[in-house]
Each structure stands twice: as C-alpha cells, then as structure tokens.
Amino acid sequence: MASLSLPLQNHVFSATTPLIRSNPRPFAIPTKVRMSLQESGPSIAVAGVTGAVGQEFLSVLSDRDFPYRSIKMLASKRSAGRRLTFEDKDYVIEELSPESFEGVDIALFSAGGSISKEFGPIAVDRGTIVVDNSSAFRMDEQVPLVIPEVNPEAMENIKLGMGKGALIANPNCSTIICLMAATPLHRRAKVLRMVVSTYQAASGAGAAAMEELEQQTREVLDGRPPTCKIFKEQYAFNLFSHNASVLSNGYNEEEMKMVKETRKIWNYKDVRVTATCIRVPVMRAHAESVNLQFEKPLDEDTARDILKNAPGVVVIDDRASNHFPTPLEVSNKDAVAVGRIRRDLSQDGNQGLDIFVCGDQIRKGAALNAVQIAEMLL
C-alpha cells in the first residue's frame, strides 16, 4: 500500500505516521474554537488534500481544534487509495466525485479553479457549504469574498443548519495579506489610492514549485544547470515578474486580482489600486510594500497604534535595530506582520503612509483564512 509523504510542509502524512504539528505560533489570533472530534460537530471534507494548501487545511484544523464528527480526504484519481493519518486516525484518500459530498456539511476546496467550477456547484446542490480557495467564484456577485477580520458581514446570512448549501470564496493570498494591514487604517482614514508591490513565494504556485526551488538551489550551488519545469525562468538566486498571464492592459492576472478583490471586499468600487507582482526565491511567505493615500490625515504613530490593536496583525517596527518583518519570521505563523510604518514624504501633511507587510502564503493567505470562515459557520 502506497504511503503519502509530503515533506515540504509542517507535517508528514504516511500510512503509519500521525500528523506532526509545528511549534506553537506566538502570533496566533487568540479567538479559537477548542473542541475537535465530537459527534455534535459538522461533517467536513477536504478537496485537494494532497496539495500544499490541502495539507495546511489539516494542520490548521488540528491546531485550532476545529470541531468535526467526520472528515473526508478527497483528491484526484491518481492519489485515491493512498492512506494518511490525521489526529491519530487512519484515512483512505477518496477520488473526488459528485457522491463525495453526500452528508457533508462543510467542504474546504483547494484543487484548482477547473475542479472548483465542476464540483463546487455539485456540492452546493447536495447541501454543502463550500469554502473555495481558487479564483473560480471570487468575482461572482452572488458569492461572498471573505477575510474574517475584514468583512465578516459579507457572509452573515450563511450558517450551518440553514437547510441549503452555499459558496464562499477565499480571496487571493496577496489580497488577504495586504488587506489585513491596510483595512484597519482604511477604517480610520479612508484609503483613496493604494500602490502595492509584492514579493511572492514559491508556495503560491504549489508544492511542486517549492520542490523546484529547493532542487534548483542545489543545482546552481553545484554548478549544474537548473531544472526549469514549473517556471520558464531560473528561480534560484533570481526574481522575475509573476508568472500569471499578462493581459491586454499590461497588468498580469495576479495584479488585477488585487485590484478587483480589494474593491469587492471593501465594497468600495472607487478605490484606486495598482499592483506589481514579483516572484522571489522564498519558500512560503509573501512580502508586500504598500503605499496608502488617505482622505483624512493619519500620522504614523496613530497608524502604529491602530495596527498593534488590529486582530491577526503583529507590528515589527524597530528602527533602532533595523528590525522589520521578514518572510522567514512569519513562515508557519498565523498573523500578518507589519513594519516600516512611515509618513509618505511625497504627499502633503499626513495624507499618506508607507508600510511593509509579510504573511505566510499557505497559512493566512489560504488555509487559515478558509478555516476561520468555516468557524464562522458554526
């Protein structure tokens, strides 16, 4: 019987090895559900369980003791029949099919947009509430696009026990990480314009990209030509424009996701947003430089205090020792870190700020946000 080994994450699945959980996360959001396996909990399914985000779904469910009475592990035909152990119980991975969602209350999807488009509506028709991590439904006007700390009201009419299924979309990872920091400031001073430059990790392109970065690093250090299968460019010791398709307006799809998703999440169609998205040779945490222009004055000290009290945010802003957020510091952490908080000297008075934000792309940028959405359904 084949075992499932996924070494790039915080835990390893196999036929005999239980979930190995990472070290405690000091930046964790304090409000947690503490119940885990119980008969009164919902039945859940994880679609795409063998992928990087699918693995992290399980890690987050375990870390937060999410209540469930049963869990289905779903993946492609290629992975069906393989075994994994989760919270000391053995499971057989099942092939994703329409019948997979019979009796399932909540399904966490991270199997790609085409799979979500095919199976998401099928699951909803069977009464399942689907939290989808792909871009398939994000801009659908009927589907809420939710960051729990930012716009929980968008899904206020969706709850377990309402007698029907529903779709809820998880935003793009870069949008989540950016808006976790920008929203508390927007609430105080109203953002008129936001300029974002992202420095995005391999994890955003999946486990295979993470493996390729590691492989390329070894190859380059050994003086060998790098293996380039996931990206056209050498990734190790290099950076390049995000690999998303470039549109007729010159922006790539990743950049336009940030523009459109920000407007939808903030329910603010007139906010001006521009983004430049770059891939950098970092394993699993994104970094973003964010410039904000405000309608009302907001000085840097007030902004720092606002961010210190914002849920899911930690401030790392030590000018004396030149210590600010780094992707490495936030990897495997729940919170988004913010630093380099300073007045934008190119704008008059206190009408603008620059900030630097880092967040774990797989965790808050994907799996944690989805599980937090699921917690709000309870």
Say yes or no to pLDDT of 344 above 80: yes
User: Any catalytic annotation for residue 286?
Assistant: yes
User: Any catalytic annotation for residue 178?
Assistant: no
Coil/strand/helix, residue 186: helix
Say yes or no to pLDDT of 151 above 60: yes
Model pLDDT, residue 36: 72
pLDDT over 70 for what percent of the chain?
91
Give yes or no for a contact between 185 and 342, defined as CB atoms under 8 angstroms apart.
no
Coil/strand/helix, residue 231: coil
Catalytic, out of 11, 186, 242, 286: 286
Q: How far is CA 378 from the centre of its chain?
A: 21
Packing angle, helices 52-63 and 207-221, rounded to 10: 110
- In DSSP terms, which residues pair with 153 in a beta bridge? none
Global pTM value: 0.90
Give yes or no for a contact between 298 and 353, defined as CB atoms under 8 angstroms apart.
yes
Taking Cα atoms as reference points, which of 362, 324, 357 lies closest to residue 178? 357
Return the amino acid letter for 365: G
pLDDT bracket for residue 15 (50, 70, 90): very low
Give yes or no for a contact between 213 and 202, defined as CB atoms under 8 angstroms apart.
yes
Could you report the per-residue pLDDT of 204-217, keeping only the tens digit for each? 999 999 999 999 99
Give the position of tokens 């290099």. Answer: 238
Give yes or no for a contact between 148 and 376, defined as CB atoms under 8 angstroms apart.
yes
Say yes or no to pLDDT of 6 above 70: no
Say yes or no to pLDDT of 20 above 70: no
Q: CB 306: neighbour CB atoms within 10 A?
A: 18
Say yes or no to pLDDT of 23 above 70: no
> For the chain, which domains are there?
25-171+366-377 (3.40.50.720), 174-365 (3.30.360.10)
Catalytic, out of 173, 178, 277, 358: 173
Could you report the per-residue pLDDT of 94-109, keeping only the tens digit for each? 999 999 999 999 999 9
Say yes or no to pLDDT of 14 above 90: no
d(Cα 344, Cα 300) in Å, to the nearest integer? 9
Q: Which of 3-12, 199-208, 354-363 has the lowest mean pLDDT?
A: 3-12
d(Cα 223, Cα 218) in Å, to the nearest integer? 9
